[in-house]
Structure 1
Amino acid sequence: MTPEEFCEKLARAQVQFPGDSEEALKKGARQMLKALRDNSPFTTVEHKGKLNKSWRMRMEGAAGKDLQANIYSTAPHFHLVDRGHVQKAPGGRVTGFVQGSHFLQKTLDNEGADIQEAMGEKLLRKLGDNLQ
């Protein structure tokens, strides 16, 4: 089966079987959420708002083509850790730069394709002969 045929079958399955596609999307989003939690940097210092515990998922859209899973962080410092930031003295003078860890992009690169492929395979296996 070519990738084009595979994508066409998935799109048709999403329209014909919205409940099954929603379930597959939720499972895939939960796997990505777990991967982000595992790959988020953490400290042993005791404080509120730990980055690896701040990941949330929200399903949006009714069904079919509108359905999407949004994964986001509630931590206000997420972008600083991921992309890097300048360090400033109390007077406002820049004293250095902290390089970002870019763990979000690394997680998407390492885990994203595998999770997406597993989602498609599970959905196709579940739907079985209904797509022919």
Structure 2
Amino acid sequence: MTIDDFCKKLNDFERQYPADASDSLEEGAKKMVKAIKRDTPIGKSNHKRKLNKSWKMRMINAWGKEPKAEIRNIAPHYHLVERGVKNPKDSHGNPKPEWQNALNKHKGFFEKSVQKNWAGVKRTMETTFFEKVRGHIG
């Protein structure tokens, strides 16, 4: 059996055993959330809704469709950290261009974290799915 045949067989098993595929996807998504939490920038101020503690994961298992995991952040200031600030202003509305570098230093951290951890998470999902359907391979 070549590697292409094995990959094709795993894809067939995904369609035949969606519950096992969903379980392995959920385990991989939980591992990705832990990795994203580890890579999230931590601020110095003490307030509720820290970025690090605001990551949520939700599984969507629709009948007849592939399972899907949604990872999102519910912090109200997440978009400012992720996308950065183009024209920073102080509380009086005065432009503060000297703040731009400090406010944009973590720009794109979510995508960087996903790219950094994707290989390990994918390997985890493959191995857990293979362990679950090992008895069905003939």
TM-score if structure 2 supplies the norm length? 0.82
Aligned position for 1:128: 134
Over 3 Å counting, the alpha-carbon distance change for 1:63 and 1:18 in structure 2 is: farther
1:82 and 1:100 in contact (8 A); partners too: no
Over 3 Å counting, the alpha-carbon distance change for 1:22 and 1:64 in structure 2 is: farther
Matched letter for residue 108 of structure 1:
V
1:70 CA drift (Å): 0.3
Over 3 Å counting, the alpha-carbon distance change for 1:60 and 1:34 in structure 2 is: same
Alpha-carbon distance between aligned partners in 2 of 1:12 and 1:94, rounded to the nearest angstrom = 58
Deviates more, 1:56-65 or 1:113-122: 56-65
Over 3 Å counting, the alpha-carbon distance change for 1:6 and 1:33 in structure 2 is: farther
Structure 1 or 2: more strand by fraction = 1
Aligned 1:1-132 pairs, distance under 5 A: 1-2=2-3, 4-62=4-62, 65-85=65-85, 86-96=87-97, 97=100, 98-101=103-106, 102-132=108-138
Over 3 Å counting, the alpha-carbon distance change for 1:7 and 1:93 in structure 2 is: farther
2:51 and 2:78 in contact (8 A); partners too: yes
Alpha-carbon distance between aligned partners in 1 of 2:94 and 2:80, rounded to the nearest angstrom = 18
2:89 and 2:96 in contact (8 A); partners too: yes
Over 3 Å counting, the alpha-carbon distance change for 1:63 and 1:130 in structure 2 is: farther
Matched letter for residue 55 of structure 2:
W
1:14 and 1:21 in contact (8 A); partners too: yes
Alpha-carbon distance between aligned partners in 2 of 1:43 and 1:99, rounded to the nearest angstrom = 13
Matched letter for residue 121 of structure 2:
I
Alpha-carbon distance between aligned partners in 1 of 2:71 and 2:22, rounded to the nearest angstrom = 15
Aligned-pair RMSD on alpha carbons?
2.0
Alpha-carbon distance between aligned partners in 1 of 2:63 and 2:6, rounded to the nearest angstrom = 20
Number of matched residues?
131
1:36 and 1:107 in contact (8 A); partners too: yes
Q: Percent identity?
A: 34
Alpha-carbon distance between aligned partners in 2 of 1:63 and 1:19, rounded to the nearest angstrom = 11
2:36 and 2:113 in contact (8 A); partners too: yes
Alpha-carbon distance between aligned partners in 2 of 1:40 and 1:80, rounded to the nearest angstrom = 13
1:5 CA drift (Å): 3.8
